[in-house]
Amino acid sequence: MNTSAEKLTEEFVRESKWILGDNLVGIYLHGSAVMGCFNPLKSDIDLLVVVENDMPDETKRAYMDMVVALNAHAPAKGIEMSVVKREVCKPFVYPTPFVLHFSAMHLGWYRDNPDDYIKKMNGTDKDLAAHVTVIRTRGVCLYGEPVADVFGAVPAEDYMDSIWNDICDAEDDIAEDTMYLTLNLARVYAWQQEGKVLSKNEGGEWGLKNLPEKHHELLRKALSEYRGETPEYDISAAKEYACAMLRLIGNNMQPMNAALLGLFSGFPYRHFNDALADVLKENLPKRDLIVFISADPENYEQNDDDRDGMHEMLAEIGLAFAVKHVIDRRTGKDEAAKLIQEADCIWLMGGEPTWQIKLIRDLGIDTELHRSKAVILGVSAGSMNLGRNVAYIWDDPHFYEALGLTNITIKAHYQEGEWFIPRLKEMSMTHPIVAMEDMSAIYVKGDRIRKVGKMHLIDKGEIGAITDEKLKELNHRESN
């Protein structure tokens, strides 16, 4: 912070001690002021005050008069302050009750009707989960008891819910608040991917290193505005960015609801062997409807033939379904959603992986797939698209974001000596890849992972063996 802001926080501490007396537990600074990116033109001063007991109305009135007086000398965005009781801090309570709150947006209300403000400005605030997380990782105790003694851990799901509330409408709001949402989306995704609690400035820098290049111009402009410049934005590009980031972040938030996830490499003889079949027999007691999702969406005759052929593979092992259906470009959005919702088994077919993921997103059924409690299977391109990252090895080798039902990146149809192995080795420098031979499978059920058949780990350019435990470790590592 600059000198004037430091003097203001010192005065805030002195006045708080005087007004609150023995009821004051501590005062904690968070936000940009502790993250090394305070800008008096863009930043507010974020403070969390912890008290032992409730504050009488007359004490609240005296405290608010003090805060409003200091706010007149604060940076452009003013003071943002909440008062909470110690009992909600450790163990942490979510949504978090507060006894008093102030920010510049509420200044008019307090000035016009202070009695009404004192009476009504209390309740719960989900934002406090994010504030406490910052305090525990990077905050500063300005006065009182140490951070570790006052604040308990914030569960990851509560923190995620808190920061999601700040970005969930980004696609609609980014035209009006481009800088803030561009940087905030990046730092939320950084936390999901790496567990890092970042400032907006740090989130933007992380995005330049980790997000697709097509978003870099927007990120650079947002960073320049955050640092005081006035760039012109391409709003259509900003909306595209918001849509893409919300999809990535939303997919990461979804738990795996599927009864079973099965990733297959391929079936050269169009039959299951006993090892592959046994797991399916244990997990498909109800077989009213099976839905296939095409990876060649406009090849209708082939899709119908593949639907019948793949269903016949199941029928051979005693797992015939009453009704079978294929989703391709003949299928409307509402029909596709209904099919996914009602299916007992969903099977993503082989073919061109990018065509399949585009079909899924065009129909808007990626969210329905995350919600589904069916058995979800994939073969070849379909199993690759069940992962979070797909290693696309053809014309322009790169990773693209797929469904994220599992965090394991796979390459199907692996054989020793294949032309694509050098490309996989190079790509494995950034993401480990599980190379699956045909007639192999990875089954995921809850937190249990089981492999069947031959497969290999390609990591940091080296090819090695892989075990069930290693698969579980990869799934955990990639999700963090």
217 and 283 in one domain?
Answer: no
58 and 195 in one domain?
Answer: no
Out of 209, 229, 253, pick the residue that ends a domain. 253
pLDDT of residue 479: 39
Is 105 inside a domain boundary? Answer: yes
173 and 139 in one domain?
Answer: no
pLDDT of residue 463: 96
265 and 247 in one domain?
Answer: no
Is 378 inside a domain boundary? Answer: yes
pTM of the shown model: 0.60
213 and 273 in one domain?
Answer: no
Position 43: which residue type?
Answer: S
Q: Classify 349 as helix, strand or coil.
A: strand
How many Å from the N-terminal Cα to the C-terminal Cα in the chain? 32
CATH value at residue 62: 3.30.460
pLDDT of residue 7: 93
227 and 243 in one domain?
Answer: yes
Task: Tell me the C-alpha distance between 173 and 235, whole Å.
Answer: 11
pLDDT of residue 256: 66
Is 66 inside a domain boundary? Answer: yes
pLDDT of residue 360: 95
433 and 287 in one domain?
Answer: yes
178 and 152 in one domain?
Answer: no
Task: Tell me the C-alpha distance between 367 and 251, whole Å.
Answer: 7
In the chain, which residues have pLDDT < 70?
1-2, 251-256, 476-480
> How many C-beta atoms surround the C-beta of residue 433 within 10 A?
26
Residue 276: exposed, middle, or buried by beta-carbon count in 10 A (0-12, 13-18, 19+)?
A: buried
Out of 111, 135, 156, pick the residue that ends a domain. 156
Is 161 inside a domain boundary? Answer: no
Residue 441: exposed, middle, or buried by beta-carbon count in 10 A (0-12, 13-18, 19+)?
A: buried
Is 438 inside a domain boundary? Answer: yes
Count how many domains the chain has.
Answer: 3
Residue 211 structural domain: 166-253
Is 395 inside a domain boundary? Answer: yes
Out of 104, 123, 156, pick the residue that ends a domain. 156
313 and 244 in one domain?
Answer: no
276 and 245 in one domain?
Answer: no
Position 414: which residue type?
Answer: Y
Distances (CA, A) of 228 to 31, 39, 79, 354: 18, 8, 20, 40
CATH value at residue 264: 3.40.50.880
216 and 241 in one domain?
Answer: yes
147 and 132 in one domain?
Answer: yes
Is 265 inside a domain boundary? Answer: yes
